[in-house]
Amino acid sequence: MHRAVWAGAMVAAMALTGAQAGAATARRASFGTLPDGTAIEAVTLTGGNGVSARIMTLGATLQAFNAPDRDGRIADVTLGHDDAASYVTHPNYWGQTIGRYANRIAGGTFTLDGRSYRLTRNDKANSLHGGTVGFDRRVWRIVSVTDGPTASVTMALDSPDGDQGYPARLAVTVTYALDDTGALTIDFDARSDAPTIVNLTNHALFDLGGEGSGGGTMHHRLTIPASQYTPVDDALIPTGERRAVRGTVFDFTRGRIVGQDVRDGRDAQIVAGRGYDHNFILDAGITRQPKLAARLEDPVSGRVLEVLTTEPGVQFYSGNFLDGTLIGKRGHVYRMGDGIALEPQKFPDTPNQPAFGSARVEPGRPYHHRMVYRLSVAR
């Protein structure tokens, strides 16, 4: 069943939150300061079915995403920190807006219109998620906050020409909008004053049992409507091949328990990624309206997450590099498999691999990506 049913859980959640159907709200408040004294704000969006999302200005980050289980119990289903300062002192990718280019660019270089550009390198020889000071580490400004029937917040960031090595000045906005069905829509928009490349996404890590539940995500069931994926080399850069998932541990087309094959050392790709850290080629391709990119279900809590996107790929990361050294919300130690990322985006290293399409943005041809995190409950 691809659309879950709230039923009694919705009623219980409404009683817990005091929210009313059709009355989604947005509340702006202080969220502490960074170690250098910079003030951070957060906007909490609350829908009528018990789902709420807190977005903070540091990184335009989805800092918390709360939802009821099948018994109406509310839990935060995203990993991260309880305070803004910890996102700086103990950095990781916890729900931030990622840019200018999400995922990896081989060698930290690319060529555009015959000119070579060298990016900051923060993943050995490669550039990852925008470089050493990507959009995830910037303080965004709040442009607007609106109440229901859909509650929303829009944040903006100006990225100068040469930022992390990228050409052109880029004006970026991200809008989070929560409705009463449990759908959090995220719109990324960017305009440039010269040719450049752009690939924006959100990098939330989910545990549908509730962050720090102790059960982890290896028992979650994942479905990805993708007949092919892009294999990677030892540096996790796509080789350029489009490989069929059928008959492999990468076949999630009919649903698969995440932990079933995540440690299958007989598959060289699992070894390369220490599990899953791969781009899946969505069968629907690029679309004007968001289509399903992934469906994640926790059979214990009943919570279901559907990820939708207008982009051609989704990166599935099974939390392989969580090694117990990061302490997150409520003092929880995050270990391998404690969170799953499902990142809709263009393919990794597209600027260096023309067969993957184009990430080009230029004046008069702005960038837009709409993605959706849709939470519900299955009986």
Q: Which two tokens stand for residue 155?
A: 């944040």
Q: Which two tokens stand for residue 339?
A: 């969170």
Query: Is 85 within 8 Å of 35 (Cβ atoms)?
Result: yes
Query: Is 63 within 8 Å of 56 (Cβ atoms)?
Result: yes
Hey, which residues does 278 pair with through a beta bridge? 316
Annotate 156-168 with DSSP letters as a single string: EEEE-TTGGG--S
Find out whether 202 is annotated in a ligand binding site: no
Residue 201: phi, psi to the nearest 5? -155, 175
Q: Measured on CA atoms in the order 138, 143, 148, 150, is the torsion positive or negative?
A: negative
Determine the Cα–Cα distance for residues 16 and 8; give it in Å rounded to an integer: 13
Determine the Cα–Cα distance for residues 244 and 3; give it in Å rounded to an integer: 27
Q: Please tell me whether residue 85 adopts helix, strand or coil conformation.
A: helix
Find out whether 103 is annotated in a ligand binding site: yes
- Indicate which residue of 129, 203, 220, 278 is catalytic: 203
203 is annotated as an active-site residue: yes
Find out whether 277 is annotated in a ligand binding site: yes
Q: Do you find a cis peptide bond into 256, omega within 30 degrees of 0?
A: no
Determine the Cα–Cα distance for residues 114 and 98; give it in Å rounded to an integer: 26
Instruction: Cite the annotated binding site for beta-D-galactose by residue number.
Output: 103-104, 277
Annotated binding-site residues read 103-104, 277
Q: Which residues are catalytic?
A: 203, 343
